[in-house]
Chains A and B, each alone.
Chain A
């Protein structure tokens, strides 16, 4: 057994409510971190995972205080140390990498200077030694051309590179323990996979222990040796990563794993009902009782203890865990969705659509012409059939939202046409569209915190489209609102709530209800589940699918998550730098041959399975602008064949299974290359 470097014992942390009650948000947590080990802490938002991680570096957020227990770092209690003593430990012995590293870097100081600063603070090296160390560190985090990197400013780096710099700074003091709080959340899929790969390498190379906090089991699976699952402030399951992910013996973890959409599976993931109890609302019984399908009356009255299961080397907090042992081949199941009939008519056509953000020149403005030879989005041709779900996939900046906005009339198109029903051209000016067309196309946004007016009640929010489009008022309005709430599985009493009184999933349901209030033909969904926890995401996906089957709505679904797309969509269009790369029925896009960019994206997907490692084929650089000529993917393509890629726009080729691919490599050759 290797040495334990930090040990948490019976830790409870809480706050005083306005009514003066003591409310704990972390309850009786105990765990050990061994030398060289990476521990993943996973849980939904509000489960207390960040509070636990911060306490492990002796930091308690303002307003909170420890109720009992200790955090022993090398047998000294961090929670009892003075701030002077803690200063000596933080940075040197325990280092932390926050979620948004870009914001943690000082914008007006060069990267090299900031790393030097960290070295001066946390080591006793002299100037020349430090200079050597800086390039050593930049090398270690595998930044491209580390010699010049030191002279750059943070804004000259991409998100992934900034995260690497943050890792380099954290490593400056040679810490024994590295704390990472959602370090890859918000990064692109390919960037995320690269950063995780780097972390795994560093853990091996330096023998640093790591605590990796995330809501994303896919990311946790890639780096962790051991996993701690938190629920409502308690550890509910803890054990070796492989055991937890392959044979979860706690109903919560089991449900969580089932609610993650998987690349290998078509159809929607099963969703777990309900939501996590609020701190302070748990009195007696198991905290998971309300959502558990194994619950018995015994669980309602009695609180289960964390029990050690010797054969599996895991700790579990559940009376009925035996029922889950050997149940786990069930993890690979999903709900099949009704597919739409393919003969359906086309409702929306994008014809040669180009969109530009370039400022108009004065003369062009007079002539109402946009002259941009290299627009953000170019030559998009997509025909969307009634009742289908078409997904637009691509990394950040690929123009997904831009296309949605121009369909909604929020952005003018530069060239091309958007045709709706019977080939009627929709004006690219919102004000020129007729009200019925506006009603027929509705938008749902990524972040419900931003898309619902914080000063309106749910009733006011839902009454807006009803008043605007159908002139409803009085009793009829109210009846319609209640119907809408029922459709999205919310009770009547939600009417008087403000958005701040709703959970993330509930807010998104209200946003869905508002879109459906217009009785739309088409709903444009912009990353509608990416701000949600997986169990909530599964519920929202199932809700969207159900509504579509009942009402025959067409969805244009934008997402960067290929597994989510696989679950919900009938057809997929892959975009790079505002240009289409591949389009086809979704089951085919996930089979080879694929466009090289699709291949890169598929390779970077993180599955909650330690045996499926991402395949990193392309660099994780971020391109600022689409290339002027040739293939849009030329800058990063791992299969690039030569000058032709730089000079000529590749032709469309149809694969044997029906997906269209835009690449200079012959499609059969591509198929054999990708085998």
Chain B
């Protein structure tokens, strides 16, 4: 009923549309909180190299395990490095790796899913089996294998994470494509004689894009958790790169007397995951998509 009341006649350009979506997302408290958190983290990640008060890798035996003070806001860790510096730079690492990882997941997952949805039949069956088989290997073990063969540089981690987190996107993209190709407007375009490429580009992509993007946003928060667990286990980025998972893992044994070195990365990680989750939810609502995937936290 409500949608019938829309009477605006002006065609909106893309920018205005994006702005409209943002506005809708921010109109609910949860969306606003999510957006604020994500924005805060992104800004911090962008400016962190310039505002970091210390060198993140400067080891100093004199300043080991200092409690928070005016000089070291979050204290120092067991090697005497400034925890505040390492926390804000750790956010930069996490965001960069998982952002590009998600992009890769979106790309291969989305494209393969759309492809499978389009061709259907035997090819679809076989591809989905292969994807399932590959991904039924516990991903942590697989990551261990990859990392031990290729090293722990971000050039390895990003595509590897992207690969493992694309599976869910394949499924969503495939289902969405399946729904769309049964619609009469596709039949109508086929009957007119449009080429397959033109049908995919004009009729299918615009109708599956939203569902795939929402799934991608969701996968991003899953990937953050996965990436940090990897680092925590020692298969992620290697020291001395500032990273939340590593920081938590290093400081774990010192919890009882140097709690500060572990609190900051935990707060950073969980707030970012929650923030992305809330944002993805609001994004889905603003686009009118009913999401069934549950959040990781």
Contact = CB atoms under 8 A, between A and B. Distances in A.
A410 interface: yes
A347 B3 CA distance: 44
A36 B1 CA distance: 34
Interface string A111-155: 000000000000000000000000000000000000000000000
Contacts of B193: 430, 433, 435, 438-439, 468
B10 to A, nearest CB: 7
Given A280-B5, A497-B9, A410 B206 contact: no
B203 interface: yes
B290 interface: no
B252 interface: no
Given A410-B187, A410-B190, A496 B9 contact: yes
A230 to B, nearest CB: 15
A451 B1 contact: no
B207 A279 contact: no
A69 interface: no
Interface in A310-354: none
A233 to B, nearest CB: 11
B184 A17 contact: no
A454 B209 CA distance: 13
B191 interface: yes
Contacts of A518: 192
A408 B2 contact: no
Contacts of A278: 4-5
A462 to B, nearest CB: 12
Contacts of B207: 453-455
Contacts of B189: 464
A409 interface: yes
B2 A18 contact: yes
A237 B134 CA distance: 67
B1 to A, nearest CB: 7
Give the bracket for the number of chain A residues in contact with chain B. 35 or more
B188 interface: yes
B184 A450 contact: yes
Nearest to A21: B5
Interface in B1-35: 1-7, 9-11
Interface in A404-459: 408-410, 430, 433, 435, 438-439, 441-443, 445-447, 450-457, 459
Interface string A484-495: 000000000101
A46 B194 CA distance: 36
Nearest to B11: A496
A480 to B, nearest CB: 16
Interface string A586-602: 00000000000000000
Nearest to A453: B185
Nearest to A435: B193
Contacts of B190: 410, 430
Interface string B162-193: 00000000000000000000011101111111
A455 B185 CA distance: 11
Contact of B184 (A445, A457, A459, A500): A445
A433 B193 CA distance: 9
A450 B181 CA distance: 11
B185 A442 contact: no
Contacts of A468: 192-194
A447 B184 CA distance: 8
Contacts of B206: 453, 455-456
B192 A465 contact: yes
Contacts of A495: 11
B270 interface: no
B202 interface: yes
Contacts of A442: 191-192
Nearest to A517: B192
Contact of A17 (B2, B191, B194, B203): B2
Contacts of B192: 438-439, 442, 464-465, 468, 518
Interface of B: 1-7, 9-11, 183-185, 187-194, 202-203, 206-207
6 contacts: A15-B1, A17-B5, A63-B1, A408-B191, A410-B187, A410-B191
Given A451-B184, A451-B185, A453-B203, 11 more contacts: A445-B188, A453-B185, A455-B206, A459-B11, A468-B192, A496-B9, A496-B11, A497-B9, A500-B6, A514-B188, A518-B192
